Structure 1
Amino acid sequence: MLRKTKLVFALSLAATVQVAQADEVLQVEQKLLSGLQSMQSLSFEQALNTFDQLSEEHPTYKLVQLVKADLLALKAGQPSMIDAYRKAHKDEISKLEDEAKVRWEFAQGALQQNSGFDHYVLKAGPQKNVVIVNLKESRLYLFGRNAKKQIEQLADYYVTIGAKGAGKQREGDQRTPIGVYHVVDMISDDKLPDLYGVGALPLNYPNKWDQSQGKTGSGIWLHGVPRNTYTRAPRSSRGCVVLNNSAMQKLLSEYKLPLSTPILIVDEESENLNFSLDSKYLVKEVRAWLGDNQPEVDWSQVSVYLYPNEKDLFYVTYPAKEKDKMVHQFWRRDMEGDWKVVLQDTENNEIKYVFRR
């Protein structure tokens, strides 16, 4: 069984190498996981070499520094030093171990991972990118257009979520919301405290559906981390989705996520992402409704999403008649089994967030 686990893990790592070679963020993660695999295989000298290199390249990466210190203590024949340090810094080390566990478990299942794109995105409009954040995995999946204008996965990054987990309900509950949102602003690092790192992408939480459900709060962003740390524990934000600064910089500068980019925040295990309803039928219903009620809408501009963690709820969006605005519709099956628009809103693509220091 152990041999099989090692083989699966090795294949999972190999599957990420090609992407990692082109992405510094994923390169670091691959080295980390390779080092942990060496430890599991009792190849401590090899592991020490890996973590020694990582610690030089990323001196603010606390998890790397912790593992390196443990390996040095073992090499010196002083395991008691490990126990003493861990007792003195129990809470901080617990958070670092949580990060290692999340990354390790994600890598072990990498060959079977389901980003959820086909599950949630029933029809993609012309948008340049789509982002899916899986809170169960602490993972952000980025999708974009290839040379043939087809959507494909570009990258996936470890993320931090709310300290109290998923399912935001009210202001200050330290939970990350579940739903479909859009990027409505970009705040550069020179306008932010160091807590938010290299920049932030505010989302339109609470959206119209959230408001109809009585959910409160605001200020849910994608953002970076302070300069004195490489990353944060899996559950340690006030509700935002937090990436390390290198990953956040890629979203801002390399991929240049535009305003209105859809951000789907979900909370399901990958293996459960199997669509049970007839998605093609629903998409036909939407097209027919728009043809009857808003024939001026260009069907190629319409996007249709399964709304996460809601029974039989779908989200439809398309450009409004007014410039730089989007129509947001929420569809649900009625008592007779017919699909109806139960909520509709028109919102500006850009909603400036005024940050008060």
Structure 2
Amino acid sequence: MKKIVIVLLATIYAISGELEDLYLKSGILAVQQKIEKNLQNKEYWDNALKDLNLTYGYYSNSDRLIIVVDKTAKEISINKYENGAIKILKNNEIITGLMGEKLVEGDLKTPVGVYEITRRFTPPTTYYGPVAFSLSYPNLYDKLRKRTGSGIWIHGYPMEGDIRENEVETRGCVAMKNDLLLSFEDVVQNNKSIVIINEKGYPKAKNSDIAIIFANLFAWKDAWTISDLDRYLSFYSSDFRRFDGMR
């Protein structure tokens, strides 16, 4: 969040002589209040984000890889942001578990959602290929919905020659041929990566939706900062529960 704010402050300062005039007339506190007001305005964010490709969301860290899995097309792609554009680094064929959202342990489904690669490791047996990457399923969203299961990996094919012919044999994981897995590893290595898993095509975020999120995020922050409790609580649904069950 601090990085985003610093960039925005620099941008606003550079493009608006209005702030200098405001500073000379009313001081630094008035400038801060003006900037805070701008950051709560959707129109400001529409303009700030208009030239960025935000198909997979907004990322302040350009070094983070975005790995997208399409269960229907049986395809995985590695993407990277460069100067506001998405660059595809690699596409591979894959097989996944059964279709549908994963709900309980043992349903053989590959989860649908957004996860982080938590570690790169050598699998305990050669059945999973030469290397594997574990995913952060279940994430907080899954846990809030009482979804169970664990051990969802991106891994390879058995090294003894057994062939994976169908989705049941992956048990909810994402698997690819070992030569493709090694080329995947060459790109991903130990980089911080998120994995977006979807069905029926890749998800596509809208810049206007992200503009609304940012405007409301800064409005939420402002309400907390000035101790406007009624306004702060208005950002929460009446049935909202934290991860630990608290309202």
TM-score range, shorter chain: 0.5 to 0.7
1:279 matched to 2:215? The reply is: no
Provide the secondary structure at the position in 2 that maps to 1:184.
Answer: strand
Identify the residue that residue 151 of structure 2 maps to in structure 1.
Answer: 219
Deviation at 1:249? 1.4
CA distance in 2, matches of 1:196, 1:241: 11
Q: Which runs of 5+ in 1 are unaligned?
A: 1-116, 295-331, 346-357
Deviation at 1:231? 6.8
CA distance in 2, matches of 1:333, 1:229: 53
Identify the residue that residue 93 of structure 2 maps to in structure 1.
Answer: 158
1:175-231 deviation per Cα after TM superposition (whole angstroms, max 9, x unaligned)? 11111110111112xx52111101111111111111111110100011111124597
Asked if the contact 2:68/2:77 (under 8 Å) is kept, the reply is: yes
AA in 2 matched with 1:206: P
Identify the residue that residue 252 of structure 1 maps to in structure 2.
Answer: 185
Asked if the contact 2:117/2:136 (under 8 Å) is kept, the reply is: yes
CA distance in 2, matches of 1:287, 1:139: 37
**Aligned to 1:240, which of 166, 173, 198?**
173
Asked if the contact 2:54/2:207 (under 8 Å) is kept, the reply is: no
AA in 2 matched with 1:265: I
Alignment CA distance shift 1:293-1:182 (3 Å):
farther
Aligned-pair identity in percent equals 23
AA in 2 matched with 1:255: V
Identify the residue that residue 114 of structure 2 maps to in structure 1.
Answer: 180
Higher RCO by CA contacts (8 Å cutoff, separation 6 or greater) = 2
Identify the residue that residue 231 of structure 2 maps to in structure 1.
Answer: none
Equivalent residue runs for 1:81-100 within 5 Å: none
CA distance in 2, matches of 1:211, 1:187: 25
Asked if the contact 1:197/1:227 (under 8 Å) is kept, the reply is: yes
Backbone CA RMSD of aligned residues: 3.3
Deviation at 1:253? 2.9
Asked if the contact 1:223/1:243 (under 8 Å) is kept, the reply is: yes
Provide the secondary structure at the position in 1 that maps to 2:212.
Answer: helix
1:3-52 deviation per Cα after TM superposition (whole angstroms, max 9, x unaligned)? xxxxxxxxxxxxxxxxxxxxxxxxxxxxxxxxxxxxxxxxxxxxxxxxxx
CA distance in 1, matches of 2:174, 2:73: 12
Provide the secondary structure at the position in 2 that maps to 1:185.
Answer: strand
Equivalent residue runs for 1:1-357 within 5 Å: 118-119=54-55, 121-126=56-61, 127-146=63-82, 151-162=86-97, 164-188=98-122, 191-229=123-161, 232-233=164-165, 235-236=167-168, 237-259=170-192, 261-269=193-201, 273=204, 275=206, 278-290=209-221, 293=224, 334=237, 343=242
* Count of paired positions: 181
